[in-house]
């Protein structure tokens, strides 16, 4: 699987109570042509997964080769004890989803369904509400971030409040 070397992205969301969350993701893909669906897999170990269960909207920010620091911020820290958005320029979309100004290549997504097949990630299928880019870019890939230590181990599970 490492040979596939997928592009990395940061997913952000906000719960109905205003709790913001974001994490680095490597599992994401187009899921439909007509209907414009996109799938994002979230680790059950992290705060973003729990927050997404209480949210109907997400944003997926595609990382460029210049965004290693953002990958480190959202991939190595835990949202349970760190505000990953502190010190960053952040806007909110019409649903309150945090949009990272420094990451202009993004999809705004509406959650359709969540599939938990028992693995360490859940699949969130979404409908693309809008897409934005500032032009072509070279993506940051898994091989560029595989040295980062994740905020949680894959076998951990987030504790439901």
Residue 48 has what pLDDT? 92
Please tell me what DSSP assigns to residue 7.
B
Q: Residue 37 falls within a domain, yes or no?
A: yes
Q: Residue 57 falls within a domain, yes or no?
A: yes
Residue 11 has what pLDDT? 97
Q: Residue 108 falls within a domain, yes or no?
A: yes
Q: Consecutive sets of 10 residues in the chain, 161 residues long: mean pLDDT of each?
A: 84 95 94 92 91 95 96 86 92 97 97 93 96 93 82 57 51
Residue 155 has what pLDDT? 60
Residues 31-56 pLDDT 10s: 998 889 999 999 998 889 999 999 99
CATH number at residue 73: 2.30.110.10
* Contact residues for 21 (Cβ-Cβ < 8 A; gap 6+): 12, 13, 14, 15, 46, 47, 48, 50, 51, 52, 79, 84
Tell me how many domains the chain contains: 1
Residue 60 has what pLDDT? 98
Q: Residue 159 falls within a domain, yes or no?
A: no
Residue 157 has what pLDDT? 55
Q: Residue 85 falls within a domain, yes or no?
A: yes
Residue 4 has what pLDDT? 80
């Amino acid at each position: 699987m490492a040979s596939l070397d997928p592009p990395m992205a940061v997913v952000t969301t906000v719960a109905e109570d205003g709790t913001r969350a974001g994490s680095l993701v490597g599992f994401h893909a187009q899921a439909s042509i007509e209907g414009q669906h996109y799938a994002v897999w979230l680790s059950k170990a992290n705060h973003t997964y729990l927050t997404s269960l209480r949210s109907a909207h997400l944003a997926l920010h595609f990382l460029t080769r210049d965004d290693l620091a953002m990958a480190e911020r959202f991939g190595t820290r835990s949202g349970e004890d760190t505000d990953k958005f502190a010190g960053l320029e952040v806007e909110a979309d019409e649903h309150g989803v945090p949009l990272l100004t420094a990451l202009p290549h993004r999809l705004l997504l509406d959650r359709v369904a969540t599939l938990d097949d028992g693995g360490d990630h859940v699949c969130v299928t979404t409908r693309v509400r809008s897409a934005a880019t500032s032009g072509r870019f070279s993506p940051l890939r898994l091989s560029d971030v595989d040295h980062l230590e994740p905020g949680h181990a894959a076998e951990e599970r987030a504790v439901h409040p």
